[in-house]
Each structure stands twice: as structure tokens, then as C-alpha cells.
Structure 1
Amino acid sequence: MTVNDDSFTSWKNREEIAESMIPVIGKLHRERDVTVLLHSRSLVNKSVVSILKTHRFARQIAGEELSVTDTLPFLQALTTLDLGPSQIDIGMLAATYAADERGLSVEEFTAEAVAGATGANKLELGDGRDVVLYGFGRIGRLVARLLIEKAGSGNGLRLRAIVVRRGGDQDIVKRASLLRRDSIHGQFQGTITVDESKNTIVANGNEIKVIYANDPSEVDYTAYGIKDAILIDNTGKWRDREGLSKHLRPGIDKVVLTAPGKGDVPNIVHGVNHDTIKQDEQILSCASCTTNAIVPPLKAMADEYGVLRGHVETVHSFTNDQNLLDNYHKADRRGRSAPLNMVITETGAASAVAKALPELKAPITGSSIRVPVPDVSIAILSLRLGRETTRDEVLDYLRNVSLTSPLKRQIDFTTAPDAVSSDFMGSRHASIVDAGATKVDGDNAILYLWYDNEFGYSCQVIRVVQHVSGVEYPTYPAPAV
């Protein structure tokens, strides 16, 4: 047998193992609301090849490849436990077990590591929480995909309705088609049918009512059986408390804005300040995609090194508020053709840092350039640190932050020397540290942070909604503080 034959045999063996993992992962998710992760990446509804690629990607952040032969025993151990709703990272289980010197069996170690999700400690499945999307554009449709994907046992977040202005004949058919196929993010993973007579879209068994209205005051949510719902406003039309309060009608309990909030509306970046949300707060904002990209690594750097001042330059993909071809626009430069030009514009992300990270007293400035790509942006974060350090120290620190810290769902890390923007389409992290581009000189550090300004941001929105709804399940093993 040749070396190539050995490699192929190994691949086929790993395929077989990954294939055996799929029904186990699916059953845990459907029956117990347990999401199996691998270094913060969900393995739910993933193909054999996707599971293998996710294991291989571990070498980008952990330094060495992780094999399904390493993680399968921990997955099998989970099936023997009385688990409640939770997120369990089998990559972290394997890593922490390898470092443990007590001689425990895999079963004993796993039971101990996830004890908070078992037996008398486990969360009980609730009745679920209704969600309404107000607006159905780029972010609205991605949030819808995520809500449908995360339906699990049906006891978590439930997308009940979408509110839009009627666009003309076959409006619901065309909106369902936009949900089904996306030029950037690909096809919807599942089935979508439309019942025009009932104004209903059925996606993977989830019945979603399409409500037509020109203003929040026109909607009676109770007529659709919607109660205590969280409404996600994707329009950006109203950004202050007075405007967003229009949504607080019978059936709606809280309003979450997918744009920077104005005035006293709390701007929330999950992972950084979501724990400051008051229980009785009914209106909040998820800030902007760029704010979500820069605040977690900024917090990480401030916690370890101190930050005296900083500047962020965002090289941002073009968006729907720009023109395809030169035409009138109320902004100075956004009227020029988006696919043909780099366009200097403003960003509110730097000033938004103060709302999300008020303990950081350092002045942060910012500017932005829109460029001719449809998705994925990069933030170049230049920092004056509170002490001198080295590039290796910063990279080791940020790698560990991405693996084991409370910010591991927000910050990802890549060492790929040939990484480009399209590689990060579909990333679920708020930002990805590019190790190869990082520069450190004494007390000056420059971080290059990739982010999927559509999908990564939508994931952050979902995390905030899960938190305020009470269905943000704990992760095990618990991240290092």
C-alpha cells in the first residue's frame, strides 16, 4: 500500500466517524436543545465534510489539527448524561481533558465538565419565545435563517411573523424567493413553501405569518396569537426611544434595533456589555456591525495591556444605501457608483465604543472607506497601549482569547497566510484577528480584523435576543474568566 493509499484510507475512516456523529448531534439538538460546538462553531445540521473541515480548522487557532477520533468519545459520553438545554464544546472538552492529569476516564471527565447542565442543575425546557421581524432586508432575512436554524426542539426562539410594506403582486412569493436563495450566502438549508391565501411562509416546518403594514400602529399582533414577543426592527427607520416605542403594542414585550441607537437607547455588543441589560428594559440596540467587530478585541487588549488611545479605519463592503450607478444621494459621496469606486464616508463605530465600553476612557477616532465588494469588511485598529509588548505575546494572547475566554464567540483567529475577504463569508464571529497582518512595535499595536458585516453581525443580534428572552443557554466547559 502506498502513502497515498494510507492517506485515503485514513480519510475514509474519518468520514465514517463523522457520519456517525451526525444523528447523535441532531438528536441532542432536537430532543434536549443541546447545541454541540467545536471551538465555538456549531456542528448542528452540518455535513460529513463540513464536520471534518471544522475539525481541521482547529489547527488555525490551536496550532494542531483536531481529529474526529479525539472528539467522538466525548460526544458519546454526552448521550449517557441527563442533559438540559445548553451549548457543549467538544473541542474544548478534548483540549481540557488532554491537559488534565488526574487520570479520569472520558466519561468521568465529561460528566464533571458539564455538571451544570445535568440532573438537578439542568435548565428545564420552557414554552419558547415569540419573535417578530419588522423589515425583511439583508439583515432581516439572515436573522430569519438563523432563527429557523436554531428552532431545535421548538422551545427556544420562534419566528412567528414578518412585518413589511406590500410591494405589489406576488409580494410574498418574491420575499420567500429572496429567503430561499441569496447571491452571497447561498441557498437556504431546508425547504420553503408559500401559502398565498393565508399570507404564510413555511420554512422547515416553521409557520411564519407575513403581515402587511405601513406603520407599527396598523398591526394588531394579538390577532395572530402573538404574545410577549421580541420585535427585531431591521428597518433603521426609528433609532431613538420615542420612535422605537411605536412598536410596543399588545403582543410585543421588547424591541431590538439592528442599527446604532440614539439618545438613551442602550447599545449592546454581546460578549462585552450584554450583562448590563436591565430586566425591565424594553428597547435596546445591537449597535452596528463595525462596532461589534472592534469592541470585543478592543476590550481584550484594554484588559491585558491598557489602551491610551486608538484609531479605527474600516474598509467596508458597499451596502444598499449606496447607488449602483451615479445618481442623486443625500450624502456627499454615496451617490457615486458603489461597484465602481472606493468611497470615503463616515462611521459612528468609534463614538459608539463609549456606549458599549464606558470604562475605556481612551479617545478612539474612526473613519471608513466603502469598497466594491458585496460582503465582508476589515477594521484596522491602531492602538497606543499602556505598556510595551511584542508581536508574539499579543498573538498568543489573542489566540487564547479566541479559544477559552468569555469572548470566544465574538473573536476568531486565523493564521492563514493567504486569507482574503471572501474566506470569511458566513463567519459567525463578530471579528477575526488576522495573525499574519498584526503589527506590534513597543507600545503600538495594529490589529487587522476581518468581519462578515452581514452574517457575523446577524449572529450577534441573535445572541442578544437569546439573552433578553431567557433562552441563551450556558456553554460548557465554562470559558476561562
Structure 2
Amino acid sequence: MTVNDDSFTNWKNREEIAESMIPIIGKLHRERDVTVLVHSRSLVNKSVVSILKTHRFARQIAGEELSVTETLPFLQALTTLDLGPSQIDIGMLAATYKCDDRGLSVEAFTAEAVAGATGANKIECREGRDVVLYGFGRIGRLVARLLIEKSGSGNGLRLRAIVVRGGGDQDIVKRASLLRRDSIHGQFQGTITVDEATDTILANGNEIKVIYANDPSEIDYTAYGIKNAILIDNTGKWRDRAGLSEHLRPGIDKVVLTAPGKGDVPNIVHGVNHDTIKPDEQILSCASCTTNAIVPPLKAMDDEYGVLRGHVETVHSFTNDQNLLDNYHKADRRGRSAPLNMVITETGAASAVAKALPDLKAPITGSSIRVPVPDVSIAILSLRLGRETTREEVLDYLRNVSLTSPLKRQIDFTTAPDAVSSDFIGSRHASIVDAGATKVDGDNAILYLWYDNEFGYSCQVIRVVQHVSGVEYPTYPAPLA
């Protein structure tokens, strides 16, 4: 047998193992609300090839490929435990097991590592929390996809309704079609049917009422059986507390804005300051996509090196706020054709840093250029550090942050030499550190941070909603502090 034959046989063996993992992962998710991860990447509803690719990606951040032969025993060990709702990273289990010198069996080590999710310690499945989407544009539809994907056992977040303005004949059919097909993010993973008579979309078994209204004051959500719901405002029409409070109608308990909040509205970047949300807070903002991209790595760098000052330059994909062809726009330059020009514009991300990181005293400035790509942006973060360092030290530190720290769901890391923007479409992280582009000279560091300004941001929104709803389940093994 040739070497190539050996490689092919090895691949087929790994395919078989990955195939055997799928029903285990699905059953854990469906029956126990357990999400199986590999280095913060979910394996739920993934194909055989996707599972293998997720394992292979570990080489980008951990330095070596992770094999399904290494993780399968830990997955099998999970099936023997009395697990409650949780997220369990079998990639981290395999990695930490390698470093453990106590001679424990896989079963014993796994039981110890996830003890907080088992037996008397486990969280009991809660009654599902209703969610309403107000607006159904780019972010609204991606948030809807994520809510449907994460419905799991039915005990988490439940998308109950979407509020839009009436758009004429076949309005609901057209909106369902936009949910089903997306030019950037591809096909919806599942089935969608429409009942025009009752204004209902049925997506993967989730019954979603489409409510037509021109203003929040027109709606009594309890009339639709909705109670104690979290409303996600995707319109950006109201940004201050007074405006957003108009959503606090019967049936709505909290309002989450998918844009920077104004005045005293808390701007939340999950992973950084979500634990500061007061239990009785009813109005909050998830800040902007760019704020979510820069704040986690900025915090990580400040924690380790101290940051004296910084500047962020964002090269941002164009958005629906711009014009396809030259036409009037109330903002400077944004009236010029988005697909044909680079457009200098402002960003509020730098000033928003102070709200998310109040302990950071360093002045941060920022500017932005919109460019002719439909999705994925890059933030170039130039920092003056509190001490001198080296490029190797910074990269090792950020790689470890992406693997083991509490920010590992926000910060990703790539060493791919040919990485370009389209490679990061669908990334679930707030930002991805590009190792090859990183520059360090003494106390100056320049980080290049890719981010899917649509999907990655939507994932951050969902994490905030999960946190305030009480269905943000703990992750095991626990991230290192």
C-alpha cells in the first residue's frame, strides 16, 4: 500500500468516527440542552466534513491538528454522566487531559472536569423565554436564524414574533424567502413554511407570528400569548432610554438594541462587561459591530501590557445605510455609490470604548472607510503599550487568550498566510486576530482584527440575550481566569 493509500484510509477512518459522533452530539443537545464544542466552535447540526474541519482548525490556534480519535472518548464519556444544560468543549477536555499527570482514566477526568454540570450541581432546564424581533433587516434575519438554531430542547430562547411594517401583497412570503435564502450567508439550515391566513412563519418547528405595526404603541403582545419577553430592536430608530421604553408594552419585560445606545443606556460587549448588567435593567444596547470587534482584544492587551493610547481605523463593508448609486443622503459622502467607491465616514466605536471599558483611561481615537465588499470588515488597532514587548510574545499571548481565557468566544486567532475577508464570513467570534499581519516594535503594537460585521455581531447579540434571560449556560472545562 502506498503512502497516499495510507492517507486515504486514515481519512475514511476519521470520517467514520465523525459520523458516529453526530447522533451523540444531537441527542445531548436535544434531550439535555448540552452544546458540544471544539475550541469554542459548536458541533451541533454539523456534517461529517464540518466536524473534521473544525477539528483540523485547531492547528491554527493550538499549533497542531486535533483528531476525532482524541475527542471521541470524551464525547462518549459525557453520555454516561447525569448532565444538565451546559456547553462542553471536548477539544479543551482533550488538551487539558494531555497535560494532566495523575493517571486518571478519560471517564474519571471528564467527570471531574464537568462536575459543575452534573448531579446535584447541574442547572435544571428552565421554561423557555419568549423573544420578539422588532425589525427584520440584515441583523434581524441573522438573529432569527440563530434563535431558531439554538431552540434546542425548547427550554431556551423561543422566537415568538417578528414586528414589521406592512409591505403589501405577499409581504410575509417575501420576508420568509429572505430568511430562507441569503446572498452572503447562504441557505437557511432547515425548513420554512408560511401560513398567509394567520401571518405565521413555521421554521424548524418554531411558530413565529408576524405582527404588522407602524409604532410600538399599537401592540399588546399578550394578545398573541407572549409574556415576559425580551424584545430585540433591530431598527435603530430609537437609541435613547425614552424612545426604547416605548417597547415596554404588555408582554415585554426587557429591550435589547442592536446599535449603540445613547445617554444612560448601558452599552454591553459580551465577554467584557455583560456581568455588569443589573438584574432590574430593562433597557440595554449591544453597542456596534466595530465596538464588539475592538473592545475584547483591547481589554486583553490592556490586562497584559497596559495601554497608554490607541487609534482604530476600520475598513468596513458597505451597508444598507449607503446608496447603490449616487443620490441624496443626509450624511456626508454616504450618498456616493457604495459598490463603486471607498467612502470615508465616521465611527462611534472609539468613543463607545469608554462605556464598555470604563477602567481604561487611555485615549482611543477612530475613523472608518467603507469599501465595496458586502460583508466582513477589518479593524486596524494601533496601540502604545505600557511596556516593551516582542511580536512573538504578543502572538503567543493572544493565541492563548483565544484558546483558554474567558474571552475565547469573542477572540479568534488565525495564522493562515493567505487569509482574506471572505474567509471570515460566518465567523461566530467578535473578532479574529490575523497573526501574519501583526506588527510589534518595542512598546508599539498594531493588531489587524477581522470581523463578520453581520453574523459575528449577531452572535454577540444572542449571547447578551442569553445572559439577561438566564439561559446562558456555563462552559466546561471552565476558561482560565
Q: TM-score, normalised by structure 2?
A: 1.00
Q: Which residue of 2 aligns with 1:330?
A: 330
What are the Cα deviations for residues 239-268 of structure 1, in whole angstroms up to 9, with x where unaligned?
000000000011000000000000000000
* Distance in 2 separating the partners of 1:253 and 1:206: 21
* Distance in 2 separating the partners of 1:249 and 1:337: 40
* Distance in 2 separating the partners of 1:198 and 1:26: 32
Q: Which residue of 2 aligns with 1:417?
A: 417
Q: Secondary structure at the match of 2:197?
A: helix
Q: Secondary structure at the match of 1:382?
A: strand
* Distance in 1 separating the partners of 2:424 and 2:192: 26
Q: Which residue of 2 aligns with 1:191?
A: 191
* Distance in 1 separating the partners of 2:38 and 2:142: 22
Q: Secondary structure at the match of 1:296?
A: helix
* Distance in 2 separating the partners of 1:166 and 1:74: 51
* Distance in 1 separating the partners of 2:294 and 2:22: 35
Q: Secondary structure at the match of 2:370?
A: strand
* Distance in 1 separating the partners of 2:174 and 2:126: 34
Cα displacement (A) at 1:168? 1.0
* Distance in 1 separating the partners of 2:380 and 2:332: 24
* Distance in 1 separating the partners of 2:400 and 2:322: 39
What are the Cα deviations for residues 327-374 of structure 1, in whole angstroms up to 9, with x where unaligned?
000011000000000000000000000000000000000000000000
What are the Cα deviations for residues 26-78 of structure 1, in whole angstroms up to 9, with x where unaligned?
00000000000000000000000000000000000000000000000000000
Could you tell me which runs of 5 or more consecutive residues in structure 2 were left unpaired when the two chains were aligned.
none
Q: Which residue of 2 aligns with 1:383?
A: 383
* Distance in 1 separating the partners of 2:167 and 2:346: 31
* Distance in 2 separating the partners of 1:55 and 1:156: 27
Identity of aligned residues (%): 94
Q: Secondary structure at the match of 2:37?
A: strand
* Distance in 2 separating the partners of 1:83 and 1:187: 33
Q: Secondary structure at the match of 1:279?
A: coil
What are the Cα deviations for residues 101-130 of structure 1, in whole angstroms up to 9, with x where unaligned?
000000000000000000000000011100
Q: Secondary structure at the match of 1:161?
A: strand
* Distance in 1 separating the partners of 2:99 and 2:194: 52
* Distance in 1 separating the partners of 2:289 and 2:406: 19
Q: Secondary structure at the match of 1:332?
A: coil
* Distance in 2 separating the partners of 1:34 and 1:218: 39
* Distance in 2 separating the partners of 1:46 and 1:198: 33
Q: Secondary structure at the match of 1:111?
A: helix
* Distance in 2 separating the partners of 1:412 and 1:83: 28
* Distance in 1 separating the partners of 2:103 and 2:63: 25
* Distance in 1 separating the partners of 2:268 and 2:237: 19
Cα displacement (A) at 1:215? 0.2
The alignment's C-alpha RMSD in Å is 0.3
Q: Which residue of 2 aligns with 1:271?
A: 271
Q: Which residue of 2 aligns with 1:212?
A: 212
* Distance in 1 separating the partners of 2:167 and 2:262: 29
The number of residue pairs the alignment matches comes to 481
Q: Does 1:154 align with 2:173?
A: no
Could you tell me which runs of 5 or more consecutive residues in structure 1 were left unpaired when the two chains were aligned.
none
What are the Cα deviations for residues 124-156 of structure 1, in whole angstroms up to 9, with x where unaligned?
001110000000000000000000000000000
Q: Secondary structure at the match of 1:197?
A: coil
* Distance in 2 separating the partners of 1:383 and 1:167: 48
* Distance in 2 separating the partners of 1:24 and 1:144: 26
* Distance in 1 separating the partners of 2:127 and 2:347: 40
Q: Does 1:310 align with 2:310?
A: yes
Cα displacement (A) at 1:425? 0.2
Q: Which residue of 2 aligns with 1:138?
A: 138
What are the Cα deviations for residues 453-475 of structure 1, in whole angstroms up to 9, with x where unaligned?
00000000000000000000000
Q: Secondary structure at the match of 1:334?
A: coil
* Distance in 2 separating the partners of 1:153 and 1:243: 35
Cα displacement (A) at 1:235? 0.1
Q: TM-score, normalised by structure 1?
A: 1.00
Q: Which residue of 1 aligns with 2:427?
A: 427
Cα displacement (A) at 1:285? 0.0
What are the Cα deviations for residues 368-392 of structure 1, in whole angstroms up to 9, with x where unaligned?
0000000000000000000000000
Q: How does 1:25-174 map to 2 (within 5 A)?
A: 25-174=25-174
What are the Cα deviations for residues 209-246 of structure 1, in whole angstroms up to 9, with x where unaligned?
00000000001100000000000000000000000000
* Distance in 1 separating the partners of 2:424 and 2:105: 37
Q: How does 1:397-416 map to 2 (within 5 A)?
A: 397-416=397-416
* Distance in 2 separating the partners of 1:398 and 1:102: 29
* Distance in 1 separating the partners of 2:413 and 2:160: 36
* Distance in 1 separating the partners of 2:477 and 2:66: 17
Moved over 6 A (4+): none
Q: Does 1:252 align with 2:282?
A: no
Q: Secondary structure at the match of 1:54?
A: helix
